[in-house]
Chains A and B, each alone.
Chain A
C-alpha cells in the first residue's frame, strides 16, 4: 500500500485550508478593508502550509552561476526548509537536487560548497550523481538497495533550474510556468538593474547569511513596496543629511513610480525631483539628454565607459527610464529582493550597493537573510571594491540601513505572539488608483507618485492565491 504522505504535486489545493480551530485561511484576509490578520505571522499551521504549498511551487533564488563555475562545483542552498545541492554538471548545465539520501534520509552532502562528481552518503554509502541520479549501493552482490525499487525510483528528487541575470532559480513544481513567464513584465525593469552589460554581473564570494527572529513575511511584505517606511524607520539617514530634502518634494525618496505584477514589485525613483544623487545635485537635468545624464552619473556599479553598452542593449525608452526614473529596489514573489542604489557619502563620493537577497524560512518566527553582492564582471578593481564595501555597509547584518529593519521585524513578530496581538491587523488601506504617467513606456501594473499600499496588498492576494490553490 502506498504511503500516505501525498507527493507535493498531488496535495489537493482547490479549497481554502481549514486551521485547527475551524477558521478558514481565507477568513484571515479582509479583502474589502484590505487587512490581514497578524496570525499569519505566528501560526505554525500556516507556516507548514507555506512549506508545502508555497516554496516548492514557486521560483526560489539559490545561487549565482559564478559560485559554481567548474564541472563538479556545488553549493548547498535552501527551498523553504529543504536543503538542496546546486551543481555544475560536466556538460556545463546546472542541476539541483534535494539533499536527502533516498535510503534513510541522511544529509547526503555535508559541505556547504566544494567540487564532486559523485556524492557518497556517509551513513551507508549509497552513491548519487550531483544531479540526483542514483548510482548504486555498496556490496552489489548483497543487493543493498533491494529489488523492489528501480534505480530511477531511488534518485534524489530533482528541481527545475532556470537562470536570470546570472542568478540561478529552482522550482520543484514540474507544472509551474517558466521563470521567464513568472517574471513576466518585471524583467523590463529588472534588466535595467541586473542585466545591463554584455559581460553581465558576477558575484562577490558566497552569500552573507544571518538570522532574524521574525517570520519571513515581515521582510517579504516590506520589500513588496514599503518605500514609505524610509521616512521613519530610516530617518537617521535623513538626520545625517544622507537623504536629500532639496527640491519640490520635501520627503526624500518618495517621488517616483511603482510597477507591479502578481505580487512582485519594482520602484522607479524620480531623480529629477529628488536630487538625491550628489553628482547630479544642482544641475539642470532637464536640459540634458538621457545619455548625457548617464555619462555624468552612470548607474550604481557602472563606469562611464559602460554607458555605451546600455545604449546598445536597451530600447530608447529603457535608456530614458534608467536616466530619469531608474528602478532601484524590488521584489520577486514570494521571498526574493533586489537592490541597486547609490549612497552619497560625506566626502562627496558615491557608494554603490547592489544585492540579490532571499528570506529563507526557518520556522514561523525565524528566517535567514541570504544576500549576494553582485558587481559588473567588467568593473574596474576600484568599482568592484566600492560595491563590495558599501553593499555590506548599507544592507546586510551590520548595514546602517538594514539594521533598523532587522530590529523592527522581530518586534512585529513579538506583537503577533500575543492572544490579542495576533488578532490585530496588518493594514493596506492607502491606495493609488492605477494610472500610468503620460508616456510611461514600461509594462506591468503602474502606480505613480507617493508610494502607497497597492503593491504590498498585491503581495498578500498573490500569497492567498497560492495557499488556497486558486493560483
Chain B
C-alpha cells in the first residue's frame, strides 16, 4: 500500500506480466535504448523519441514522512521537449566545442525492475524502471552516480516503440553531479 509520500501516481491499467511477449519486447527496447546512450549514439537515440516528447526530472526535497509528495509539481532539474532535446543533441554531435562532453565521458546505464501496465490509450504503455547511471570523466577514478525511478510512456510505432514521455524521480535532493550533459 503506497503511503501519501508516494511521489508518482501508481499505474491503474492491467499489468502486463513478465511472461507475456509484450513485456519482453519492452525490456528489449529499454536495453537497446540504454545501449545507444552508453555508446554515445545520440543520433540513433533521438530516433526513438516521439515528436510530442516530454522528458523531465522534478526537483525533490526531503520532507517529513506523511507530508505528501517530496517532488515539486513545477520545478524541474530539466524539462525538455523534442525541440530542446534536438538542440542539445545537435550541440553535442555537430559542434566542436560542447566541452561538457568533449572528450566524451564513459557512461553505463543499468536498467532494471521493469514493470509494464496498459493505459487508457491503445498502444501506449506505462513503463516503470529503475535506472542507475555511472559516468566517468577524463582519468578521474570518481564516478558520477545517479539513481532513480523512471516512469515512461512508451508508444507502439511502425517499428518498435517511441518514447512519448519520461519522468525521472531522482533519489538525491541535491544532485551529486557537476552537470547532466548525458541522458538517462
Q: Give A residues with C-beta under 8 Å from B.
A: 111-114, 204-214, 232-237, 239-240, 345-347, 368, 373, 388-389, 392-393, 396-398, 400, 402-404, 406-410
Q: Is B22 an interface residue (CB 8 A)?
A: no
Q: Is B118 an interface residue (CB 8 A)?
A: no
Q: Which of B27-35, B109-117, B158-166, B176-184 contacts A (4 or more CB under 8 A)?
A: B176-184
Check B75–A114 contact: CB distance below 8 A: no
Check A211–B98 contact: CB distance below 8 A: no
Q: Is B59 an interface residue (CB 8 A)?
A: yes
Contact of A397 among B62, B79, B175 (CB under 8 A): B175
Residues of B within 8 A of A389 (CB): 79-81, 84
Contact of B77 among A212, A398, A400, A403 (CB under 8 A): A398
Check A406–B179 contact: CB distance below 8 A: yes
* Cα–Cα, bound, A19→B67 (Å): 48
* Cα–Cα, bound, A346→B99 (Å): 21
Check B97–A206 contact: CB distance below 8 A: no
* Cα–Cα, bound, A15→B61 (Å): 42
Contact of A400 among B74, B87, B173 (CB under 8 A): B87
Residues of B within 8 A of A392 (CB): 76-79
Measured CB to CB, the closest approach of chain A to B150, in angstroms, equals: 15
* Cα–Cα, bound, A208→B79 (Å): 13
Contact of B180 among A212, A214, A347, A397 (CB under 8 A): A397
* Cα–Cα, bound, A392→B73 (Å): 15
Q: Is B174 an interface residue (CB 8 A)?
A: yes
Q: Is B3 an interface residue (CB 8 A)?
A: no
Q: Give B residues with C-beta under 8 Å from A.
A: 59, 61-64, 67, 72-81, 83-84, 87-88, 90-91, 94-100, 137, 142, 173-181
* Cα–Cα, bound, A389→B175 (Å): 19
Measured CB to CB, the closest approach of chain B to A240, in angstroms, equals: 6
Check B178–A213 contact: CB distance below 8 A: yes
Of A211, A214, A234, A236, chain B has the most CB atoms within 10 Å of the CB of: A236
Known A111-B64, A396-B77; contact A210-B87, beta-carbon cutoff 8 A: no
Measured CB to CB, the closest approach of chain B to A255, in angstroms, equals: 22
**Beyond A210-B174, A407-B100, 13 additional pairs, beta carbon < 8 A:** A112-B63, A208-B75, A208-B77, A209-B173, A210-B177, A211-B177, A239-B94, A388-B74, A393-B79, A393-B87, A397-B177, A403-B179, A407-B179
Check B83–A347 contact: CB distance below 8 A: yes
* Cα–Cα, bound, A113→B90 (Å): 39
Check A236–B98 contact: CB distance below 8 A: yes
Of B64, B72, B177, B179, chain A has the most CB atoms within 10 Å of the CB of: B179
Measured CB to CB, the closest approach of chain A to B25, in angstroms, equals: 30
Known A112-B63, A397-B177; contact A240-B90, beta-carbon cutoff 8 A: yes
Check B97–A235 contact: CB distance below 8 A: yes
* Cα–Cα, bound, A404→B62 (Å): 29
Check B178–A407 contact: CB distance below 8 A: yes
Check B61–A206 contact: CB distance below 8 A: yes
Residues of A within 8 A of B142 (CB): 213
Known A111-B62, A393-B84, A403-B180; contact A236-B76, beta-carbon cutoff 8 A: no
* Cα–Cα, bound, A393→B78 (Å): 6
Residues of B within 8 A of A232 (CB): 97
* Cα–Cα, bound, A24→B45 (Å): 55
Residues of A within 8 A of B99 (CB): 233, 236, 404, 407-408
Of A206, A240, A400, A402, chain B has the most CB atoms within 10 Å of the CB of: A400
* Cα–Cα, bound, A206→B96 (Å): 35
* Cα–Cα, bound, A235→B180 (Å): 19
* Cα–Cα, bound, A368→B72 (Å): 20
Known A112-B63, A406-B100; contact A396-B78, beta-carbon cutoff 8 A: yes
Check A393–B91 contact: CB distance below 8 A: no
* Cα–Cα, bound, A400→B179 (Å): 10
Measured CB to CB, the closest approach of chain B to A248, in angstroms, equals: 24
Residues of A within 8 A of B94 (CB): 239-240
Residues of A within 8 A of B173 (CB): 112, 209
* Cα–Cα, bound, A211→B64 (Å): 24
Check A112–B175 contact: CB distance below 8 A: no
Check B174–A368 contact: CB distance below 8 A: yes
Measured CB to CB, the closest approach of chain A to B66, in angstroms, equals: 11
* Cα–Cα, bound, A314→B63 (Å): 41
* Cα–Cα, bound, A409→B177 (Å): 13
* Cα–Cα, bound, A233→B77 (Å): 22
* Cα–Cα, bound, A140→B13 (Å): 56
Check B74–A205 contact: CB distance below 8 A: yes
Contact of A205 among B59, B64, B180, B181 (CB under 8 A): B59
Known A111-B63, A206-B72, A236-B98; contact A402-B179, beta-carbon cutoff 8 A: yes
Residues of B within 8 A of A206 (CB): 59, 61, 72, 75
* Cα–Cα, bound, A208→B179 (Å): 12
Known A114-B63, A208-B59, A208-B75; contact A345-B83, beta-carbon cutoff 8 A: yes
> Taking CB as reference atom, which chain A residue is nearest B180?
A398
CB<8 Å pairs between A and B, sample of 11: A111-B64, A205-B74, A206-B59, A206-B75, A345-B87, A392-B77, A392-B79, A393-B80, A396-B78, A398-B181, A406-B179
> Taking CB as reference atom, which chain B residue is nearest A114?
B64
Check B175–A210 contact: CB distance below 8 A: yes
Contact of B178 among A111, A208, A410 (CB under 8 A): A410
Residues of B within 8 A of A388 (CB): 74-76, 79
